[in-house]
């Protein structure tokens, strides 16, 4: 080994263990987060706080999955909310009509979502930017209209009423508030961990390449269409998971879950929190729900307040909150290296 090569080996070794280290760090982080969230009911009797976390779980899964499309792949979907609604309705309908156990309904809903997302994705991901955005929106409206007009099956504009049966499984009784809370937290953490893995996998870097320069990616032998379709389906699965948490929480499903405003909120959350970091959308979710809850309590014109906040982030900051944090950290790091 020459001196030069020896230098390489040294440089390579820490980077090599870096990937493994990163993975363990993420898992550790997830475990700590789960432990903190799950122990919350021990310290507080506040049902409102637990409800808030459950809603954060539903929206957080949804918004983070949208970031896989928007932030990582550069696919700005205006119709991602359809999979949130689809998850809520499929799960609710399966539980109401088929009387199966919750894990079975959960898995079946994911399978249905994958099938529909693959069909819609196969049509949409070929389209460029604005066309992709609007055709996804069109599909969302199609699903929303179907829910409204197929009243005998979906309950129409009344939504799925009568409650979703929640039979206990494996000692978990989701009609118990604390059980529902802990399960929501577990789904959130597992979902985030899985999405983090996707983002940091070789496939995640393929997505980044497509975002930066799809033409160049295809000249490296990457099938861009297939990669986009794959991430479209994967993101739909996590959005659907969010929808299921929501359906469990409200014990029903409503047409608003599939309306375009859900997609709009997803985009808004991503703008609030920022798309350049993995946890940006999660921060955005907490911010939006906090804003929503406080503002609606103070004024009936909460739409105006939220609109102003959106404009402030979009035109004023031009970035999400965590984007600033990430920049600050990297500036500090660079300054450290410069010394």
Contact residues toward other proteins (CB under 8 A) are 8, 12, 16, 19-20, 22-23, 197-198, 200-206, 208-209, 211-213, 215-223, 226-227, 230
Is the Cβ of residue 11 or residue 104 nearer to other proteins in the bound state?
Answer: 11
Report yes or no: 67 and 269 within 8 Å, Cβ to Cβ.
Answer: no
Alpha helix positions (H), the chain:
3-43, 47-67, 81-98, 102-124, 129-149, 151-154, 177-200, 202-218, 224-250, 260-273, 280-298, 302-311, 321-338
Measured CA to CA in angstroms, residue 186 lies from 31, 46, 182, 190, 250 at distances of 10, 19, 6, 6, 18
Place of tokens 């490296």: 220
For the CB of residue 255, give the shortest distance to other proteins in the complex, in Å: 34
For the CB of residue 212, give the shortest distance to other proteins in the complex, in Å: 4
For the CB of residue 256, give the shortest distance to other proteins in the complex, in Å: 33
Report yes or no: 270 and 322 within 8 Å, Cβ to Cβ.
Answer: no
For the CB of residue 193, give the shortest distance to other proteins in the complex, in Å: 12
Is the Cβ of residue 72 or residue 249 nearer to other proteins in the bound state?
Answer: 72
Is the Cβ of residue 175 or residue 218 nearer to other proteins in the bound state?
Answer: 218
Query: What is the rounded distance in angstroms from the CA atom of residue 128 to the CA atom of residue 132?
Result: 6
For the CB of residue 236, give the shortest distance to other proteins in the complex, in Å: 15
| Nearest by Cα to 232 from 244, 243, 224 | 224
Measured CA to CA in angstroms, residue 94 lies from 105, 205, 256, 283 at distances of 6, 37, 19, 32
For the CB of residue 202, give the shortest distance to other proteins in the complex, in Å: 5
Is the Cβ of residue 7 or residue 303 nearer to other proteins in the bound state?
Answer: 7
For the CB of residue 10, give the shortest distance to other proteins in the complex, in Å: 12
Is the Cβ of residue 2 or residue 152 nearer to other proteins in the bound state?
Answer: 2
Compute CA 106 distance to the chain's CA centroid, rounded to the nearest angstrom.
Answer: 17
| Nearest by Cα to 45 from 187, 171, 168, 181 | 181
Is the Cβ of residue 161 or residue 216 nearer to other proteins in the bound state?
Answer: 216
For the CB of residue 206, give the shortest distance to other proteins in the complex, in Å: 4
Is the Cβ of residue 201 or residue 299 nearer to other proteins in the bound state?
Answer: 201
Compute CA 191 distance to the chain's CA centroid, rounded to the nearest angstrom.
Answer: 8
Is the Cβ of residue 28 or residue 35 nearer to other proteins in the bound state?
Answer: 28
DSSP state of 221: T
Count Cβ atoms below 10 Å from residue 276 Cβ, excluding itself: 17
């Amino acid at each position: 080994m020459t001196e030069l090569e020896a230098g390489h080996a040294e440089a390579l070794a820490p980077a090599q263990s870096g990937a493994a280290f990163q993975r363990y760090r993420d898992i550790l982080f997830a475990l700590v987060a789960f432990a903190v969230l799950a122990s919350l009911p021990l310290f507080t009797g506040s049902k409102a706080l637990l409800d808030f976390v459950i809603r954060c779980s539903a929206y957080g899964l949804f918004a983070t999955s949208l970031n896989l499309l928007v932030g990582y792949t550069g696919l700005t979907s205006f119709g991602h909310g359809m999979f949130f609604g689809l998850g809520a309705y499929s799960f609710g309908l399966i539980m109401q009509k088929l009387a199966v156990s919750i894990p079975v309904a959960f898995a079946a809903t994911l399978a249905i979502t994958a099938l529909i997302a693959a069909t819609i994705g196969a049509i949409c991901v070929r389209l460029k930017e604005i066309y992709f955005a609007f055709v996804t929106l069109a599909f969302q409206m199609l699903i929303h209209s179907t829910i409204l007009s197929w009243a005998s099956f979906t309950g129409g504009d009344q939504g799925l009423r009568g409650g979703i049966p929640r039979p206990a499984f494996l000692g978990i009784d989701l009609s118990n508030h604390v059980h529902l809370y802990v399960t929501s937290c577990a789904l959130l953490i597992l979902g985030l961990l899985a999405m983090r893995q996707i983002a940091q996998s070789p496939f995640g870097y393929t997505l980044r390449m497509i975002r930066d320069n799809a033409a160049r990616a295809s000249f490296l032998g990457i099938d861009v269409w297939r990669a986009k379709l794959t991430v479209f389906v994967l993101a739909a699965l996590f959005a659907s998971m969010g929808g299921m948490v929501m359906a469990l929480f409200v014990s029903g499903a409503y047409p608003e879950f599939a309306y375009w405003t859900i997609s709009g909120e997803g985009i808004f959350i991503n703008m609030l929190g920022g798309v350049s970091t993995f946890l940006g959308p999660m921060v955005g979710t907490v911010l939006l729900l906090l804003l929503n809850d406080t503002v609606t309590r103070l004024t009936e014109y909460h739409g105006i307040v939220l609109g102003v906040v959106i404009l402030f982030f979009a035109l004023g900051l031009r970035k999400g909150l965590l984007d600033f944090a990430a920049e600050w950290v990297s500036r500090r790091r660079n300054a450290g290296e410069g010394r």
